[in-house]
C-alpha cells in the first residue's frame, strides 16, 4: 500500500485575548501609533483567535490593511464569525488559513510592515514531510516583500527566542547579518528592524 500523503501541521488550539498573554500584539498596535503609521500594508504572523491586530488596525484613526496567517483552524473559524458579524472589517483585514512555512513571495503584496512574532515556535519534522521552508527562509521571503524604509518586527518574549536549539534569536541574527535591514532597537516586548532606503529614519523605539 502507498504511504498516506502527509497532512498539514496545524496548531490545534485557539488563542483568546488577554493583554498579559499577547504582549506582542498589544505592543505592536502601540508601536504603530507611536510611529504614526497609517494606511500601511501589514503582514502579521499569526492572527490569534482574538484578531486584536486586525480589529485595531481597521479603526478609522488607523486604517492599516492587515493580512494575517494562522495554522489554527479554530482561529480561522473565529475570523469567519468575525467577518459575518462585522463585514466592514473586511476592507482592511483578512486572515488566511495556512502554513507560513509554505509562504510564496508571489502571493504576498508589497509590505510596509511585517511581524514574525512566532518564529521557530511550531515548526517540526511534520513540516519537512511536505517540503516546507525553514525559519530562516521564511524570514528571508517575508523580508524581501518589505518596501525600502519598511519594518520587520520580532518578539524576544517568545518561548522559542532563546532556547538551546533552533532558537528564533539565532535565526534573526543569521538573517540580519546578510540583509539590508538595521536593528533599530526595542519597543516594549518587541525588537524592531528597518530596511534601508525610503527616506528619513524614524526615531529609535523606547
| Strand 190-195 to 146-154 pairing | antiparallel
Q: Are 156 and 174 spatial neighbours (Cβ–Cβ below 8 Å)?
A: no
Domain ranges of the chain: 23-195
**In the sheet that 111-116 helps form, which strands lie side by side, from edge to edge?**
93-97, 65-70, 41-45, 111-116, 146-154, 190-195, 181-187
Report pLDDT for 106.
97
Residue bearing cell 540583509: 179
Fold of 23-195: Rossmann fold (3.40.50)
What per-residue string of b and e applies to 112-126 under the rule 16 or more CB within 10 Å gives b? Answer: bbbbbbbbbbbbeee
C-alpha radius of gyration, the chain, whole number: 17
pLDDT at 21: 66
- Over its length of 206 residues, how does the chain's per-residue pLDDT go in tens digits? 666 789 999 877 655 655 556 799 999 999 999 999 999 999 999 899 999 999 999 999 999 999 999 999 999 999 999 999 999 999 999 999 999 999 999 999 999 999 999 999 989 999 999 999 999 999 999 999 999 999 999 999 999 999 998 999 999 999 999 999 999 999 999 999 999 998 644 444 43
Tell how many helices (H) and how many strands (E) occur in the chain.
6, 7
- What pLDDT shows up at residue 20? 55
Query: Among 62, 23, 25, which residue's Cα sits nearest to residue 46?
Result: 25
Reported as a single tens digit per residue, the pLDDT across 84-133 is 999 999 999 999 999 999 999 999 999 999 999 999 998 999 999 999 99
Amino acid at each position: 500500500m502507498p504511504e498516506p500523503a502527509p497532512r498539514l501541521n496545524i496548531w490545534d488550539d485557539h488563542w483568546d485575548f488577554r493583554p498579559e498573554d499577547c504582549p506582542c500584539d498589544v505592543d505592536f498596535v502601540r508601536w504603530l501609533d507611536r510611529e504614526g503609521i497609517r494606511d500601511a500594508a501589514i503582514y502579521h504572523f499569526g492572527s490569534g483567535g482574538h484578531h486584536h491586530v486586525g480589529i485595531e488596525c481597521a479603526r478609522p484613526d488607523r486604517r492599516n490593511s492587515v493580512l494575517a496567517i494562522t495554522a489554527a483552524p479554530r482561529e480561522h473559524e473565529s475570523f469567519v464569525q468575525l467577518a459575518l458579524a462585522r463585514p466592514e472589517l473586511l476592507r482592511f483585514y483578512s486572515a488566511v488559513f495556512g502554513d507560513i512555512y509554505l509562504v510564496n513571495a508571489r502571493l504576498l503584496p508589497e509590505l510596509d510592515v511585517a511581524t514574525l512574532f512566532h518564529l521557530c515556535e511550531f515548526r517540526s519534522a511534520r513540516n519537512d514531510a511536505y517540503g516546507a521552508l525553514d525559519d530562516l527562509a521564511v524570514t528571508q521571503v517575508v523580508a524581501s516583500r518589505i518596501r525600502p524604509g519598511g519594518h520587520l518586527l520580532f518578539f524576544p518574549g517568545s518561548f522559542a527566542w532563546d532556547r538551546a536549539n533552533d532558537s528564533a534569536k539565532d535565526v534573526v541574527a543569521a538573517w540580519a547579518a546578510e540583509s539590508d535591514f538595521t536593528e533599530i532597537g526595542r519597543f516594549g516586548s518587541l525588537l524592531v528592524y528597518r530596511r534601508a532606503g525610503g527616506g528619513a529614519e524614524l526615531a529609535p523605539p523606547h
